[in-house]
């Protein structure tokens, strides 16, 4: 794993170099493509503003969103390529794979991808090669850890549903890790596929037929776009749920464990800055998160009739009352 100090020394130093040089009036304003939905485009834009970029004057954003319809992504990526954007920012594995298929020359900054090497997005973390760089969320590696934390919170846990997207390659890898963790804990894992909102109702019905004690949810972008439906489903069926994204717990989920997505988007601004100043993506290492947050919503726990063990609460980075 690349150390945080090494990353800051190699990339973060860009913060000291100042904003993009706009002294020459004839210089073309750089255009940044933001491909598909991401709740955290604002942290990226705010971080760039703090670095001196002025939207509409020294940087322009091109938004393309699929509205949860994955079949639209290739045409949206092609539009950004045709617009000749200077770089493309993506969130999650499926969208990044689509962007990579659309262009081998325009730099792509990925945010929160689960398995960038295993899915073929980059050659390696230290030297990604090609036109893709950015950050990984380590989704697969942490899957078993989330299950262990869920079991600690609910000691009698025996059957856990796992809502995953089979069209997301990093979800497939995560499923394997969670299955391994379930076997080690003596827990029965109940995988339930759903690639988008049109499949949620059928997935929920199939899930409840299996009578799970709890639910695990991934950070899959296609599901996160409509995650409030998942949170409401879990609440209405009094189903404790473990999420990857803190915002899901703020919105009423029970627990989450993972890196801060807003922070990853803010740090993506460093990559944008470096690439706009001429650095090749192949020379920018993939950042791996070094801080993971355990967030617990006690209000939700009380609604579910759960008493959180003191040992679990003591491990929490944030407890929502």
Q: Does residue 97 lie within any of the structural domains? A: yes
Task: Quote the CA–CA distance of 114 and 49 in Å, as a whole number.
Answer: 28
Q: What pLDDT is recorded for position 169? A: 87
Do 95 and 145 lie in a common domain?
no
Q: Mean pLDDT, to the nearest integer, of 21-45?
A: 80
Question: What is the total count of domains within the chain?
Answer: 2
Do 130 and 268 lie in a common domain?
yes
Which CATH number do you get for residue 196?
Answer: 3.40.50.2300
pLDDT at 108 over 90: yes
Task: Quote the CA–CA distance of 123 and 184 in Å, as a whole number.
Answer: 31
Q: Does residue 100 lie within any of the structural domains? A: yes
Note down the domain range covering 168.
139-258+293-320
Q: Does residue 288 lie within any of the structural domains? A: no
Do 188 and 271 lie in a common domain?
no
Lookup: tokens for 196: 């988008």
Task: Quote the CA–CA distance of 245 and 91 in Å, as a whole number.
Answer: 13
Task: Quote the CA–CA distance of 47 and 53 in Å, as a whole number.
Answer: 9
Do 9 and 130 lie in a common domain?
yes
Do 231 and 266 lie in a common domain?
no
Q: What pLDDT is recorded for position 24? A: 44
Q: How confident is the model at residue 14 (pLDDT cuts 50, 70, 90)?
A: very low
Do 76 and 204 lie in a common domain?
no
Query: HSE-up of 141 (CA within 13 Å, CB side)?
Result: 14
Lowest mean pLDDT of 12-21, 224-233, 270-279, name the range.
12-21
Beta bridge partners of 55: 59
Do 219 and 274 lie in a common domain?
no
Do 9 and 126 lie in a common domain?
yes
Cβ-contact 137, 258 below 8 angstroms? yes
Do 143 and 253 lie in a common domain?
yes
Cβ-contact 98, 73 below 8 angstroms? yes
Please provide the average confidence, as pLDDT, over all residues in the chain: 90
Q: Does residue 212 lie within any of the structural domains? A: yes
Q: Does residue 165 lie within any of the structural domains? A: yes
Q: Got the DSSP string for 191-223?
A: EEE-SSGGGHHHHHHHHHHT--SEEEE---HHH
Do 45 and 63 lie in a common domain?
yes
Q: Does residue 274 lie within any of the structural domains? A: yes
Residue 255 CB contacts under 8 Å (≥ 6 apart), including other chains: 149, 150, 153, 240, 241, 242, 243, 249, 294, 295, 296, 297
Do 113 and 45 lie in a common domain?
yes
Do 129 and 204 lie in a common domain?
no
Q: How confident is the model at residue 140 (pLDDT cuts 50, 70, 90)?
A: low
Q: Does residue 316 lie within any of the structural domains? A: yes
């Amino acid at each position: 794993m690349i150390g945080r100090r090494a990353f800051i020394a190699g990339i973060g130093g860009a913060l000291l170099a100042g904003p993009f040089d706009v002294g020459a009036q004839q210089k073309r304003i750089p255009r940044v493509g933001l491909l598909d939905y991401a709740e955290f485009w604002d942290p990226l834009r705010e971080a760039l503003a703090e670095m001196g970029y002025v939207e509409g004057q020294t940087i322009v954003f091109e938004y393309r969103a699929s509205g949860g319809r994955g079949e639209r992504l290739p045409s949206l990526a092609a539009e950004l390529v045709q617009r000749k954007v200077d770089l493309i920012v993506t969130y999650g594995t499926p969208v990044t794979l689509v962007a990579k298929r659309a262009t081998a020359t325009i730099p792509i900054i990925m945010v929160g991808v689960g398995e960038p090497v295993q899915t073929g997005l980059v050659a390696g973390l230290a030297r990604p090669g090609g036109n893709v760089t950015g950050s990984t969320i380590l989704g697969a590696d942490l899957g078993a850890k989330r299950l262990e934390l869920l079991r600690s919170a609910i000691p009698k846990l025996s059957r856990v549903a796992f809502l995953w997207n089979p069209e997301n390659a990093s979800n497939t890898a995560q499923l394997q890790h969670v299955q391994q963790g379930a076997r080690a804990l003596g827990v029965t894992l109940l995988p339930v596929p759903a690639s988008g909102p049109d499949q949620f109702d059928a997935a929920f019905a199939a899930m409840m037929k299996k009578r799970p004690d709890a639910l695990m949810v991934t950070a899959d972008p296609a599901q996160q776009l409509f995650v409030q439906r998942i949170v409401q489903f879990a609440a209405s069926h009094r189903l404790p749920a473990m999420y990857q994204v803190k915002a899901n717990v703020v919105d009423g989920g029970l627990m989450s464990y993972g890196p801060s997505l807003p922070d990853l988007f803010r740090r993506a601004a460093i990559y944008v800055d470096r690439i706009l100043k001429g650095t090749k993506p192949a020379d920018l290492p993939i950042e791996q998160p070094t801080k993971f947050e355990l967030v617990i919503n006690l209000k939700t726990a009380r609604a579910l009739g759960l008493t959180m063990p003191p040992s679990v609460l003591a491990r929490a980075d944030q407890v929502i009352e």
